[in-house]
Amino acid sequence: MHPSVSGMTHPKCKKQYALDGLIACFEYKTIVKKLIYKYKYKPYISDLKTPIGTLMVESLNENELFYSITNHNPLFVPVPLSIKRERERGYNQSALIAEYVAQYFNMNYASLLERTKNTQPQYQLKKDQRRSNVSGVFKIADRDKKQIFGRTIVVVDDIATSCSTLAECAKVLKREGKARAVWGLVFAREV
């Protein structure tokens, strides 16, 4: 997926199970890069969810596209971690910020996606390898599919580089869960 001015997926790039668009609150550089690093890697500072969440909320309060999405009563869903990585870190950083943002805007939150296998961290791969790294690694439990059917879903992650993870989540949510629309929401986007 290539960046667009409006955050929406270009009509020529759009496919049936594609991400409908992406909202990135900040560029992945300087202080934002340091915040994410401290949040995701040792010493694993989970309390950074509050300043990160606050910064996201401030950015989203000024985003017209975000407000047009919230008119559809979206369900906020975090990108899942593998069980191994979540145990190691002690928390899912995407889940913490998704819950924070959803709560602030009084929107629904649910952790409905599951990661079926441990994958290599995306940052260790070249951009062309990232898509195959996450291909087929997400699923939705049958009991959760009814919560997704016909809804607008906002998939929340901390950072987007190639958008491969978000695109794979959108594919599963639309194909298996029959979501009406799937948007990505990230704290930062690498440009």
Q: 58, exposed or middle or buried, with CB in 10 Å at 0-12, 13-18, 19+?
A: exposed
User: Could you count the other beta carbons within 10 Å of the beta carbon of residue 56?
Assistant: 25
The predicted-structure confidence for 62-89, as pLDDT tens digits, reads as follows 999 999 999 999 999 999 999 999 999 9
pLDDT of residue 1: 46
Shortest CA distance to 161 belongs to which of 126, 112, 111? Answer: 126
Q: Which domains does the chain have, with CATH numbers?
A: 21-189 (3.40.50.2020)
The reported pTM is 0.89
Q: Average pLDDT, stretch 124-132?
A: 78
Average pLDDT, the chain: 90
| Torsion angles phi and psi, residue 21, rounded to 5 | 170, 175
- Rounded CA-CA distance 182/49 in Å is 23
Residue type, 96: L
